[in-house]
Structure formats: C-alpha cells, structure tokens
Amino acid sequence: MVKTKIKRLFRESELDLIMNKTTSQRDRSLFSFYYLFGCRRQEALNMLREDIFIKDDMLCAIITVQKRKNGEHQVCVNNDSTYAKTIIEYIKNIPVGKKIWNISGRHALRILKQILPNGYIHRFRHTRLTKLAELHATEFQLQAWAGWIDTRPAKYYVLKSSALIKELGKSVR
C-alpha cells in the first residue's frame, strides 16, 4: 500500500481569521492575493504595480512563473469579492514600476504563522486550485490558471476533488 500525503485546505473560518487578525493593509492584500489567484509565494512577491490591473470589471494579474522560460500568464477574477476589493484598495497607493509587496517570503510566512501556526503560504494555492476543480474546471483550465507546462499536476486536483466524487456518488443508483 502506498502512503499519500493529504494536503489540508484552508477552511473558511481560517481564511476569515487570517484576514481579521492581519493588522497591515499590505499583509491583508498579500494574503488575499495568494488566496484569490492561487499563485506561488515568489510569483506574488516579485510582482510590480503594472502587473495588476482592472479589465472589463475583472481584476487581472500577469503572473510570471519562475520555473520556466516565457512563463507569463494572465489570470482574471471577478473584482467584487472582498478579497479583490482588498487588493484593489491597497494597490491604489503603489506607483507604477514599484514592487507591490515589499516583503520577503520568510517574513510573509512568519506573519501567517503568528496568526495560524499550521498555516503555510502554499496552502492558499492548494485551496484555490481545489476549489476550481470543485467548480468543474478541466485539467486544461487548471493548467492555464496555475501556469503548469503540462496537465499532470492538474489531474491530481481533478481526481482528488471530494465535491466531484460526492456529486458522482449521488448519481449512482
């Protein structure tokens, strides 16, 4: 029997705790960005002000994937969520050409750990991608969203989606 590590998602109560206990607007917007866009730690921390913009009532981000060449991809989300509004409010004060979040990855993790001792930055990504799979995103949509070169990582999310399995189980008679 092969042991698999089950990755735990952030619960809504944990996300609320993170947002409510985070004291700085910068940190709250960073954690909102991690959750909303599901990007990797350094992908967010390396972003410049011009990498986030509003287009057709959507909050869009040009995310540069660090692990491959020509790794830019654009992700857009509905801009009326609380998380999107938090990001929009924060970036208004950031001049073009400047980093959005002038913070190290270690410091971001330290802030998260003070609020939620079992919190890890990558859990934001895992939570977002799992939620997308539960919304019936295809492997190719997950691949495009996450900036993966192939669909193998996306298969994990589609196959492990408890909502999809539960939905399928309801149809069995």
**Tens-digit pLDDT string for the chain (173 aa):** 444 454 688 999 999 999 999 999 999 999 999 999 999 999 999 999 999 999 999 999 999 877 665 578 899 999 898 999 999 999 999 999 999 999 999 999 999 999 999 999 999 999 999 999 888 888 889 888 988 888 888 887 877 766 666 776 777 76
Contact present, 29 and 89 (Cβ < 8 Å): yes
Domain boundaries, the chain: 12-120
Euclidean distance between the first and final Cα of the chain, in Å? 30
Check if the beta carbon of residue 134 is closer than 8 Å to that of residue 161: yes
Q: Please name the residues in contact with 86: beta carbons below 8 A apart, sequence gap of 6 or more.
A: 19, 25, 28, 29, 32
Taking the model in full, what pTM does it have? Answer: 0.86
CATH code, 12-120: 3.90.15.10
